[in-house]
Amino acid sequence: MVSFEMISVTDRNRKPNTQTAMRQLIDQVRNEIPFGLPDEALCGDSCKGCSSKLLIYLETELDGWEAKLANGAIPSFGDLSRLAAKSKKIAQALYQNDLLERSPIS
């Protein structure tokens, strides 16, 4: 199952700050979501949401957060939660369109 967790604890006694957690979330999303698919793979016979547009949207969100983090922005827990939720919803649409092998956890 694809699961986008907001925070992964590297040390049991200490959780990462929100900047580190956002970077981890972005890395996880980039590893799980197939951003490099060709256009012909994105548009199949059955389509539940435009996969191409969803991937562009999500990649724009990730790029935006990477730029903000590079400029020293500190995301809130709400920012982490929203990005994780968007990623899960887009992953679910990709799964329904047979572009992901595993279903995201609801």
pLDDT for 86 equals 95
pLDDT for 73 equals 94
Task: Specify the pTM.
Answer: 0.79
| Total residue length of the chain | 106
Residue 38 φ then ψ, to 5°: -70, 160
The residues pairing with 2 across neighbouring beta strands, listed in sequence order, are 104
pLDDT for 19 equals 94
Tell me the domain boundaries of the chain.
18-33+47-96
- Measured CA to CA, the distance from residue 32 to residue 29 in angstroms comes to 5
Lowest mean pLDDT among 8-12, 23-27, 32-36: 8-12
pLDDT for 12 equals 54
Interior CA angle at 69 toward 11 and 74, to 5°?
A: 70
Of the pLDDT bands very low, low, confident and very high (cuts 50, 70, 90), residue 1 is: very low
Residue 83 φ then ψ, to 5°: -65, -40
Copy the structure tokens of residue 78.
Answer: 């709400």
pLDDT tens, residue by residue, 45-98? 666 678 888 999 999 999 999 999 999 999 999 999 999 999 999 999 888 888
